[in-house]
Amino acid sequence: MCGIVGYVGNKSAQPILMHSLKRLEYRGYDSCGIALAGSDLEVYKDVGRIDALATKLNSNGCSIGIGHTRWATHGKPSRINAHPHTDCSGQFAVVHNGVISNYLELQTQLILEGHHFSSETDSEVLAHLIEKYYTGDLVSAVKTALTYIKGSYAIIVLGKDTPYIVTARYENPVIIGVGYHENIVASDVPAVLDYTNKVIILKDGDIATVSRESVKVCNNGREQTRNCNVISWDINEAEKGGYEHFMLKEIHEQPKAIAETLRGCLSKVEPQVNPGIKIPDNIEDVLLLGCGSSYHATMIGKYVLELIVGIPTRVELASEFNHANPVLRKTWTIGVTQSGETADTLMALKKARQLGSHTLAITNVVGSSVTRLVDQCFYTRSGPEISVAATKTFITQLMAFYLLALSWPGVDYKYKYGLIQDLGRLSSKVQRLLNHQAEIAKQGANLARFENALYVGRGINYPVALEGALKLKEISYIHAEGYAAGELKHGPFALLTPQTPVIAIAGLDSTREMFLANIREIKARESPLLAIADERDTEIDKYVDCVIRVPSTEPLLSPVINSVALQLLAYFAAEARGCPIDLPRNLAKSVTVP
């Protein structure tokens, strides 16, 4: 995790670094720091958020510097462990995102050679290695130092007397915003968008020298040409736009995100779906990989692919797949990761490739690490998602699965016709649900009183229950678990009391009768029952205490509408509890450590 920035230009670096770091807080926010190069290297760092550090700084006019916002992996959040880290002589400062797996070995050797370490971090070895190999040229010192590093890194290095900064990446992202008499290095695009919309995306192994007027990229000792991409979304899309939290804004952006993801893929006249993905020839099964919400999207994807296409599909948590001994024969592996940077998903996709599998990534970030790993990419078009809890990126991942399944050769016309029509209507249905969020807000405020909650669903709405519970726990800190409704009697029934509300996601599909039987069993244990139900479903009122009615849709598409309702429920519960919704404790949006 962690966010890094570097500035070199004609303005005062400190306010720009702080402003850019603020935009990267979604990557980690337990401590932060900056280093500025003036007559000396000045380092300011502390535990806590960027705003708190900013109040302690005075702009000193230095026009070159680096900064970091941290999500602790090695050593607790503390001032000493915060980046930037410096070498013994105080000539070099380094910020790092990633994990150096051989740091203990390197540290032991460096200590024997007389280096003194201050922090518990893996990153500090970089500063000492650069000091060790520096003979007057910072770029070559960085290059040599990196040859000793095992693991992953995105780094920016500042030298006391050097009019440029040096940046490098391996398995963690670095972009360079190219401005007029200024350049800004960062982990992600929102950090530079206030200054420029021209961005160079570095590739693994790149080392770039960034000065006020130029960017020079080398890889494997050879100079490289890297295109400058023009970013089409503007910074307002990464701002709150009048909403109290990014999460609420992003929930409300879902009608647009759905429409954008479907744009150009559907033809209703003659039912055709073309998401621009070539289904590999001769595949016999599909493997879906993901983490967190993206994993829940894969679980829904499995239902969609098996029902519409009839192809055997299995899902695996990417973090577990990396330790498994999978057998892949004529398997198409699809990795789902909104950020395109989740370390576990990247490792799992690499493994699948090594085992000879064709690979596809479903991601929201153009140019992210996953895009370079796989044979093909499907881009969800959600726009930037800032809030740690995934909302619109999750919903558009579901869109990707519907499109993929419907574009499969030989899919039955009956699915194509009805579903294509219904997919086209989904965006306005979600909008209709959002227009009536006040009812859900009341239920959310009510839920906020409890310390535990269970979410239950069956069939395609079982993963929806998992996702609903994940949303609630991560942003409201209410302990919540999702269960397949039929499983409650195998243990969780013991938890049912009037103090344990149950949120029941009621489908109108083949699971209906059994689901109602499960609901009756829950009711008999006196737990408060809240149903999320299709607006046509009047029968459900007999079984539960309260109902959130959602726009009616084809059952196969109901996870979209139901998930949006559950996002709002979690949001309003968290709001009633006064939680820091966009930046929940201990979490980060982009999890670049395995």
Q: Which residues of the shown chain bind ligand G6P in the complex (CB under 6 A)?
A: 291-294, 337-339, 342, 345, 388-390, 587, 589, 591
Which residue has 């409890």 as its token pair?
Answer: 450
CA dihedral of 523, 524, 528, 532, whole degrees rounded to 10: -10
> Given the complex with ligand G6P, which of 341 and 575 has the nearer CB atom?
341
> Given the complex with ligand G6P, which of 43 and 480 has the nearer CB atom?
480
Asked if 581 and 575 touch (Cβ cutoff 8 Å), the reply is yes
For residue 491, give both structure tokens.
Answer: 């243990």
Q: How far is the CB of 139 from ligand G6P (least distance, A)?
A: 32
∠169-172-176 over CA atoms, to 5°? 60
> Given the complex with ligand G6P, which of 65 and 335 has the nearer CB atom?
335
Q: Is 268 a catalytic residue?
A: no
Which has the closest alpha carbon to 585: 408, 593, 577, 364? 577
> Given the complex with ligand G6P, which of 482 and 507 has the nearer CB atom?
482
Kindly state the DSSP code that residue 89 receives in the 8-state scheme. T
Q: How far is the CB of 97 from ligand G6P (least distance, A)?
A: 15
Q: How far is the CB of 581 from ligand G6P (least distance, A)?
A: 13
> Given the complex with ligand G6P, which of 370 and 423 has the nearer CB atom?
370
∠553-555-558 over CA atoms, to 5°? 65
**Which member of 22, 132, 471, 589 is catalytic?**
589
455, β-bridge pairs = 482, 503
CA dihedral of 538, 544, 549, 555, whole degrees rounded to 10: -70
Give the separation between CA 317 and CA 313, rounded to whole angstroms. Answer: 14
- Looking only at Cα atoms, what is the longest distance across the chain? 79
Q: Of all helices (H) and strands (E), which one includes residue 502?
A: strand 502-506
For residue 317, give both structure tokens.
Answer: 């948590």
For residue 251, give both structure tokens.
Answer: 């929930």
Q: How far is the CB of 345 from ligand G6P (least distance, A)?
A: 5
Which of 521-524's residues contact partners 24+ apart within 8 Å by CB, and which partners?
521/488, 521/489, 521/493, 522/456, 522/488, 522/496
> Given the complex with ligand G6P, which of 130 and 251 has the nearer CB atom?
251
Q: Which residue is nearest to ligand G6P (CB)?
A: 292
Q: How far is the CB of 582 from ligand G6P (least distance, A)?
A: 11
Give the separation between CA 20 and CA 184, rounded to whole angstroms. Answer: 9
CA distance between the termini of the chain: 10
Q: How far is the CB of 383 from ligand G6P (least distance, A)?
A: 15
Q: Is 350 a catalytic residue?
A: no
**Which member of 2, 62, 291, 377 is catalytic?**
2
Catalytic residue numbers read: 2, 589
